[in-house]
Chains A and B, each alone.
Chain A
Amino acid sequence: MHIVYPAVVSALLFSVGVYGVLARRNTILVLMSVELMLNAVNLNLVAFDVWLGDRLHSGQVLTLFIIVIAAAEVGLGLAIVLSLYRNRRTVDIDQLRDLSEPGTSDTPADSAGKSGDQEGSGMPDDPAYPSTSADPADPPTRRLGEPAVAEDPATTPEPATAEDPAATAEPAKRGGAL
């Protein structure tokens, strides 16, 4: 067996995983892409273990360890995703911008909140959207199963600056379906 074959297959799988992590918006699809990258690493480890003929089987044992760690990672990642879904009613990575820099211009949530405060153009006098909730630090205050529908008007003006019209329809649709 030429070692080039498994190495090339592994490199291609890793690149596919890179594309999936960068291009997907759903968090579960990003987790799947991370699994693909881990599998590429596993294939590399097994191939080089067979090539080197290691008596301790370091490569295959490390592959087993990586498989176990990947299982733990998926479990924890899904717990985080479910907690996120309970609080925000979305698993869309592009809408989770609470940790972004407040000064950058391409953060739709922050710019929408600031424009709504200063100019009043985005959302004038919405009673469900008091001005104290404009700072991005307040979403931890609502947890524990409290419905997030009261905050959903805060997210509706944000895709007005986004690029695709599909993002505007999705939160409203999900909020209505629940």
Chain B
Amino acid sequence: MTEAVPSYLSPTGQEIVFLLLGAVAVGSALLVVTTRQLVHAALWLVVSFGALAGGYLVLTAEFVAWVQVLIYVGAVVVLLLFGIMLTRAPIGRSADLDSGNRWVAAVVAVATAAVLVTVVVDGFRTAYTPLKPGAGAAKELGASVFSTWVLPFEALSVLLLAALIGAIVLSRTDIPGGPPPEQTGGS
């Protein structure tokens, strides 16, 4: 696993592709957190998630890549766009998207990045694995989910049901039995 580590100076094609996709993912993530337009943040999020899905493909995790495309790019971003539109956010530029403690946040983020990158580079410098395709295909992963991990899988379906019901209860306004109206006479 860790024997005969190839040099970092002669990267393979897979590594070059992964690094390019990682650069796209990190760059568009930076645009997500720095852009001044709310809708553009959601659209840059699509780019970031798509590049990450490509990274999963390079890492031979095919099924995870397609689930990422389906759920993140397909469902989560659409939900976020719905949220942006339902809160009647301004479509164009808005000046107040950043908080006052922006510089403190930047310092904290840079410190986090420095610590994590230092530790990770120091710890996994010699870790190397050859990629063999097919290890993360739907067949392998499905067999694993439905043989070993079937109990967490079922618990997760119950969790999704609970989240769905919770979202409906939070969203509806005509459910009786809320807190009693005091001196305002709410309907």
Contacts and interface: CB of A to CB of B under 8 A. Distances in A.
B108 A166 contact: no
A140 to B, nearest CB: 6
Nearest to B161: A72
Given A23-B102, A69-B156, A64 B15 contact: no
Contacts of B160: 68, 71-72
A99 interface: no
Contacts of B72: 35, 39, 67, 70
Interface in B139-171: 140-141, 144-145, 148-149, 152-153, 156, 159-160, 163-164, 166-168, 170-171
Interface in B118-145: 120-121, 124-125, 127-131, 135-136, 140-141, 144-145
Given A26-B89, A51-B1, A163-B100, A57 B140 contact: yes
A67 B68 contact: yes
Contacts of B75: 71
A57 B91 CA distance: 43
A102 interface: no
Contact of B26 (A12, A26, A80): A12
A16 B109 contact: yes
B136 A140 contact: no
Contacts of A86: 173
Interface of B: 1, 5-6, 8, 12, 14-15, 18-19, 22, 25-26, 29-30, 32-33, 38, 41-42, 45, 48-49, 52, 55-56, 58-61, 63-64, 67-68, 71-72, 75-76, 79-80, 82-84, 86-89, 95-102, 104-106, 108-110, 112-113, 116-117, 120-121, 124-125, 127-131, 135-136, 140-141, 144-145, 148-149, 152-153, 156, 159-160, 163-164, 166-168, 170-171, 173, 178-179, 181-184, 186-187
